[in-house]
Amino acid sequence: MQQEIARARVMNRLENTVAFVTGAASGIGAACAKRLADEGAKVVGADITSGTDIILDVRDEEAVAGAIQDIVAAHGRLDSVVNAAGVAGGGPVHLLTGEEWDRVLDINLKGTFHVNKHAAIQMLAQGSGAIVNIASIEGIEGTEGGSVYNASKAGVVMLSKSMAIDYGRRGLRVNCICPGGIDTPMLRSITDSDGMNVYQERLREEHLLGRFGEPSEIASAAAFLVSSDASFITGHALVVDGGFTAGLRVGILDQLGV
């Protein structure tokens, strides 16, 4: 009975709240939109493609501002935001074009800034709100060939911390999640490309749990961070990576049958 009560409490902990999720058409964004809705939130999803409530390019600040204004006009408030819009990109710096650098930074970092800025304006006016930005483990430690993607996600981590410092006394909480390898269309677009199969297995093995994560596992973390259960958490970069950043596993214990 106690477990059923606890489960019911979790599944209703976002009841009567309004949430905005970017990148909601697929992958982590779609999973976050579903999880927040399952927990009782009124969710407005946005993506650059069809299939969500709003078609939105987060690089367009005017469009972002208008989308948030429309949400508030329709629902009266904005309680939480999950910024999941993002793209892959990279390569060694000497081979990277300026156009590719700008593309990745404009979507992953500047787009997150646009959404954070206009969400914060509303949340400051109402005196409360929770923002979760989807960063990456590549934002806290480098990866081979990551360059611009690493830089963009490191920027998201620091943007989140800076906002937590600036707005904590005004009722806003701002955190980010740093996923490891998550089984999404974005990851598959990289690992399923020609010549990448061997590296896919190496990457999988670098996760101590021996597998890639599921989008729903990131969504669980996001739902927690925007909920009142995380009311004393702000400025945190939550690593959800199956042990990828915990340390090196070389297989010594295999010799002992462990």
CATH architecture of 2-237: 3-Layer(aba) Sandwich (3.40)
Active site residue 167: no
Q: Which of 20, 113, 149, 224 is catalytic?
A: 149
Q: Is the pLDDT of residue 4 over 70?
A: no
CB count within 10 Å of CB 211 equals 12
Res 196: pLDDT: 66
Under a CB-based contact definition with an 8 Å cutoff, are residues 111 and 59 in contact?
Answer: yes
CA distances (Å), origin 164, targets 40, 64, 124, 134: 25, 21, 13, 15
- Give the model's confidence band at 239: pLDDT under 50 very low, under 70 low, under 90 confident, else very high: very high
* Cβ(131)–Cβ(80) below 8 Å: yes
* pLDDT mean across residues, the chain: 92
Judge whether residue 5 has pLDDT over 60: no
What is the mean pLDDT of the segment spanning 85-94?
A: 93
Mean pLDDT of all residues in 200-209: 87
